[in-house]
Structures are given as structure tokens and as C-alpha cells.
């Protein structure tokens, strides 16, 4: 736009039968947060979606919005309301039967109990005290993710702690996703350490330990009346897990285990998957990768090796942090490619974005993301920018061609800075480098991102 204001394009549809209809288009956009949107109006129950910024790489995105038609037709709208320089390009607009849904709207609350035990308090936006689990449920979250460690130094992320938080999540009406790390501490692409108690075991004995650990944790949940709805067998396991026996490349040359150990990894994954199904046949098994930024070949390479060895799983899990893992177009391409190639739904099980670049003033610790240059173009490190980014990622996942992106889980949105709950479970003096990406501010007050868990409007059906 040449100046501040609004530009709107409208087009009436033909006659539409009562039911869900979706408008979809390829888009590019830059400018102020939430400047442009696409939707269907004058339908009955209308719907629209903000068009995400594509300033990061200028690539086309597919974006969709749905509406429930009761008036016999709709009006397609494409609108920019913003500042001088905001723009949007829209192509290949279609209106088709069906809906688009952010089915899973999740929160990883693994650190919540430790935070509360160390004095963390939570409030709504008006400053009234809230239970953090209930706050996510009330905002519209549908799932809580909880990680499990085998023998952690701090006594958290254990079976007992996971069961306690799972009870709260289920009581609030949310599903539970259990994230097995198969380690005594964090696992990710740079660390997949063997639990101390399993060190020195043969691959077959490690597989037995994986089965027993998985079965025991999930049985404890089931016995407590909170059967897991989904389970990750491993966390960000591109390089394998349970190093060095389950590595997918020679992680530490000279350690006595040379080269990729795909057969061992498949043995471990199959043991975990079998344990999940033995406890509850209806529980969804997820295999979780990351590093979309390395290209789709790095993901298909992994899944080709695993599926060739007959590992059973239900859903593909991905991490996506826009400041590390490429653009939203890269994410959408990964979802579409993987879901088609392996005939599975795809869930983003980790995602986050900062609301500030500042450190907590009382309990400072250098933040993981602390520079303007690290941010996703178009999304400032403000409460509004954080909320817009979270919703944009949800919409990009839901709009992915093929319709098999099922949702997004925010990573540790309640991990605020409190003394004693830092990143290192063995060091109470370590700090929190993530608190500027929580969905509660430095006073513990809810931020606008919480509102982006809300479900889309549901139709008022005609009789």
C-alpha cells in the first residue's frame, strides 16, 4: 500500500450447499503484523485467517480458511489493513467443500511442577491468580506434552511427576502426549546419551530396557486413570538415540562403535512402539525428527531407513522453530512431502517464539534467542509478535496441501524464570535461557499468545 489504510478485494461465490467450505490460495506477504487476511464472509458462520509474512525467504505459502455456509453462498475476501509498504500477493484462489482444522493445540508443560515447587506463580492478563494447567485449557489448548527421563539428577520428569501433571491435564479436559527421551537428561540432535543404568548393556538388553521403561511409565498412567493419548518414542532422533548403539552416523569416532547402527535403532524404536501398544492399542505412536532446515532429504533418508526395517508408528513429529529451522514454506513442504510419502499425519511437537529479547531482571541468564538478527522477519520480539507467530505456524500446518498437518505444540510456554529451575538438572544454580519465550511475562501474567489456542468458531446449524 502507498499509505496507511485498507485495501479489500471481494468476489461472490456461486450457490453453495449448506456445510463446511474452504477458501485456499497461494500467498506472499510482507508488512506489519496481521496486516493481511483471507476468508469467507456472509456465509452463516464466517471464517478468516491472517496471511503469514513470507519475508524470511519470499517463498509461496498455501493458506486456507473455512466457513460454515447456511446462506446459500459466500463472499471471498482478501484484505490488507495496515501501514504504507504492506503488501500481499494472492494466486490460485479456490473454494472447495470441507474444512481446515487446528486439531491439536498443545503445550509442553514438562517443567511446570519444578517451576511451581520453586515458587513460580501464574496470573491471567488482568493479574488474577490462575492454575497454569487450567489456564491453557481455558484458553483452548487440547493437549499437554510431558517428557520422561530415566534417572534424572533433580528428581523431576520422573514417572511420579508425569502422572501428577497428566492427572491435572486430563481433569482440565486435555489429552496427554508423553515424550520419552530414554536418557537421564535432555536429548536432541547433539545429545542422545545412554542412561547410566543401561550403560554397557548389549543392544538386545537395551531394547528390553526400553520396553520395560516405556511399559512401566505408561502402565502407571493407565492405572491412575490417565492413559496416554500419544507417545513419542524418542526425542529429536535424527542422529539416532541411545548413543553409541543406536546412532545413525558415527557420532564419536574411535568409541568402538563404528558407523551407522540402523538395525539397533530399529530394534530400540520397535521395543518402545510395542510397549506403547501393549499398554493401550489406541495410543498414538510418534517418531520425532527436527532440522527441517537441512532439507527434506535429511528427513526422508531417516524415515526410509526406519520404514524399511518395519518399525511401527502412527504419526510423524517435527520440531519447528522459525529462527533455526527455515521458513514456513520449508515447514509446509516437509509436512506435505512426509505425509504423502509415508501416509501419516504430521504434528509439530515443538515450537516457540520470544515476546522480548530482554533477560529476566531478577533472575537473568543469557537467552537462547537474544538478538534482532535471530528473529523471523515480520515477527518482532513483542507480545503481539509472539502471538502472531504462534498462530501463523498453526495456520501454515493446518493449511499444508494434503490436509494432514494436525497441529502444533508450544514448547515450555510456562517455564518462567525462578531460582532453582534452570536448564541443567544437575545444577540448581543454572538459569533459564528460555523464559523470554514463555507465554507468561516476567511477572507471571498471561501474554496474548495464550489466546491463540482458541478454537475457531463453530456453526449455528439450521434446522
Sheet holding 19-30, edge to edge: 44-45, 61-69, 19-30, 87-97
Give me the phi and psi of 6, to 5 degrees please. -140, 140
Annotated catalytic, 116?
no
Nearest alpha-carbon partner for 240 in 157, 182, 174, 323: 182
Nearest CA to 387 out of 441, 345, 312 is that of 441
Closest CA to 185 of 230, 149, 221: 149
CA distance 388 to 396: 12
CA–CA gap between residue 123 and residue 113 (Å, rounded): 16
Cell of 345: 499425519
3-state secondary structure 390-427: HHHHHHHHHHCCCCCEEEEEEECCCCCCCCCCCCCCCC
Starting at the earlier edge strand, list the strands of the sheet with 47-50. 5-12, 75-82, 36-41, 47-50
Q: Are 250 and 197 in contact (CB under 8 A)?
A: no
**176/136 Cα distance (integer angstroms):** 13
Of these residues, 30, 48, 79, 350, which one is catalytic? 350
DSSP state of 221: H
C-beta atoms surrounding 427 within 10 Å: 11
- Find the catalytic residue in 30, 48, 79, 236: 236
- Write out the H or E segment, with its range, that includes residue 63: strand 61-69
First to last CA, the chain: 44
8-state DSSP, 215 = H
Told to judge if 236 belongs to the known catalytic residues of this protein, a careful annotator would answer yes
Cα separation of 393 and 167, whole Å?
A: 28
Residue 143 is placed in which grid cell?
493437549
CA distance 360 to 342: 43
Taking a C-beta distance cutoff of 8 angstroms, is the pair 239, 261 a contact?
no
Distance (Å, whole) CA 196 – CA 182? 11
- Catalytic sites, residue numbers: 236, 350
Amino acid at each position: 500500500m502507498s499509505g496507511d489504510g485498507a485495501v479489500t478485494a471481494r468476489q461472490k461465490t456461486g450457490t453453495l450447499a449448506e456445510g463446511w467450505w474452504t477458501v485456499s490460495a497461494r500467498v506472499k506477504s510482507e508488512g506489519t503484523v496481521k496486516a493481511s487476511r483471507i476468508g469467507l464472509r456472509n456465509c452463516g458462520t464466517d471464517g478468516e485467517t491472517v496471511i503469514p509474512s513470507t519475508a524470511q525467504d519470499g517463498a509461496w505459502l498455501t493458506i486456507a480458511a473455512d466457513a460454515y455456509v447456511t446462506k446459500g453462498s459466500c463472499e471471498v475476501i482478501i484484505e490488507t489493513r495496515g501501514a504504507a509498504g504492506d503488501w500481499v500477493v494472492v494466486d490460485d484462489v479456490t473454494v472447495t467443500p470441507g474444512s481446515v482444522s487446528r486439531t491439536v493445540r498443545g503445550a509442553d508443560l514438562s517443567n511446570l511442577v519444578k517451576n511451581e515447587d520453586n515458587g513460580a506463580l501464574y496470573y491471567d492478563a488482568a493479574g488474577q491468580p490462575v492454575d497454569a494447567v487450567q489456564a491453557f485449557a481455558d484458553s483452548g489448548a487440547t493437549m499437554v506434552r510431558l517428557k520422561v527421563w530415566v534417572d534424572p539428577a533433580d528428581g523431576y520428569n520422573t514417572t511420579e511427576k508425569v502422572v501428577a501433571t497428566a492427572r491435572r491435564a486430563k481433569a482440565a479436559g486435555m489429552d496427554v502426549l508423553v515424550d520419552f527421551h530414554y536418557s537421564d537428561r535432555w536429548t536432541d540432535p547433539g545429545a542422545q546419551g545412554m542412561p547410566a543404568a543401561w550403560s554397557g548393556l548389549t543392544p538386545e538388553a537395551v531394547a528390553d530396557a526400553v520396553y520395560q521403561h516405556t511399559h512401566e511409565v505408561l502402565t502407571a498412567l493407565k492405572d491412575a486413570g490417565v492413559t496416554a493419548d500419544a507417545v513419542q518414542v524418542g526425542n529429536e532422533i535424527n542422529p539416532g538415540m541411545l548413543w553409541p548403539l543406536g546412532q545413525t552416523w558415527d557420532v564419536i569416532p574411535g568409541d568402538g562403535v563404528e558407523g551407522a547402527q540402523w538395525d539397533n535403532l530399529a530394534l530400540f524404536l520397535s521395543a518402545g512402539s510395542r510397549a506403547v501398544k501393549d499398554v493401550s492399542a489406541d495410543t498414538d505412536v510418534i517418531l520425532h525428527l527436527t532440522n527441517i532446515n537441512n532439507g527434506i532429504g535429511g528427513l526422508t533418508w531417516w524415515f526410509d531407513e526406519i520404514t524399511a526395517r518395519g518399525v511401527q508408528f502412527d504419526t510423524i513429529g517435527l520440531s519447528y522453530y522459525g529462527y533455526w529451522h527455515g521458513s514456513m514454506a520449508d515447514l509446509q513442504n516437509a509436512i506435505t512431502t512426509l505425509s504423502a510419502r509415508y501416509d501419516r499425519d504430521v504434528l509439530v511437537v515443538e515450537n516457540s517464539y520470544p515476546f522480548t529479547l530482554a533477560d529476566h531482571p531478577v533472575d537473568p541468564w543469557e537467552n537462547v534467542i537474544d538478538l534482532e538478527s535471530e528473529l523471523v522477519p515480520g515477527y518482532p520480539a513483542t507480545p503481539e509478535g509472539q502471538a502472531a507467530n504462534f498462530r501463523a505456524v498453526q495456520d501454515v500446518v493446518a493449511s499444508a496441501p494434503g490436509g494432514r498437518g494436525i497441529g502444533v505444540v508450544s514448547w515450555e510456554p510456562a517455564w518462567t524464570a525462578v531460582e532453582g529451575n534452570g536448564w541443567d538438572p544437575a545444577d540448581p544454580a543454572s538459569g533459564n535461557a528460555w523464559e523470554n519465550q514463555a507465554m507468561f511475562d516476567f511477572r507471571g501474567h498471561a501474554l496474548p499468545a495464550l489466546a491463540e489456542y482458541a478454537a475457531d468458531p463453530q456453526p449455528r446449524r439450521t434446522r
